[in-house]
Structure 1
Amino acid sequence: MAEWVEVEVAYALPHKQRILSVKVEEGSSLLDAVRASGIEGEFPELDLTQAKFGIFGKASRAPEKDTVRQGDRIEIYRPLLIDPKQARANRAAKAAAKSDNG
């Protein structure tokens, strides 16, 4: 008899966020759980073959192999628009320019 675990699948856009609960068989992969959640129906533009995943903020390198555990929150990450280091450099340059003019 199969054992079941309950996990959450989370995805967010700037204007819309969803966290869906789903029960999957113990030993299911992150990708299996995400597909079982039906989140693609809420976000038709979401391409699970290209998306990055993680559990509670820890990135998964192999979502098709990593298995879920009871209570996990699987997060689907959007692609970054700008490299975080570049974003910090831009903010620092802007702050420096403001203090020079101020």
Structure 2
Amino acid sequence: MAEAAAAAAPLRVEVVFSAAAGQVQEWSLRLPPSARLRDALRAVHLEDSACATGIWGRRAEHDQLLEDGDRVELYRPLLVDPKVARRERFARQGARGAGLFSRQRPGGKAGY
């Protein structure tokens, strides 16, 4: 009996979307037990979004079944490649102001 009641209980799911840096939107939903990722997106009117989707940080397709407690995330495209951003930041700071060698002992050689 308890298994049948648990199977019929609605799923609690969170949907998280950040349209821009510093702007986070979150929705808490209750969906039927057989709900899929697309159902959660449809419930918050984001089913037509071109953003990539995932569950708890792992890419997921729209036909993925949801489980109770899942966190559905929409990922906006990166504006800058993280490797390029790191190189540019390092170039601005210089070799002495970043990384392992930023706290060099007085009089020590570069890189030590």
Could you tell me the TM-score, scaled by structure 1's length? 0.72
- Between the two proteins, the alignment pairs up a number of residues equal to 90
Superposition misfits of 4+ residues, deviation over 3 angstroms = none
2:60 maps to 1:54: no
Q: What's the CA shift for 1:22?
A: 0.9
Residues 1:90 and 1:47: Cα distance change in structure 2 (over 3 Å): farther
Could you tell me the TM-score, scaled by structure 2's length? 0.66
Per-residue CA deviations over 1:65-102 (Å, capped at 9, x if unaligned) read 21111011111111110111111121122222785xxx
Match of 2:30 in 1: 23
Residue type of the alignment partner of 1:37: V
Query: 5 Å matches for 1:12-91?
Result: 12=18, 13-38=20-45, 40=46, 47-48=48-49, 50-60=50-60, 62=61, 64-91=62-89
2:90 maps to 1:92: yes
Max Rg structure: 2
11-20 or 82-91, which moves further after superposition? 11-20
- Taking CA–CA contacts closer than 8 Å with sequence separation of 6 or more, which of the two structures ends up with the larger relative contact order? 1
What is the Cα-based RMSD across aligned positions, in Å? 2.5
The alignment-based identity, stated in percent, is 34
Gaps of 5+ in 1: 41-45
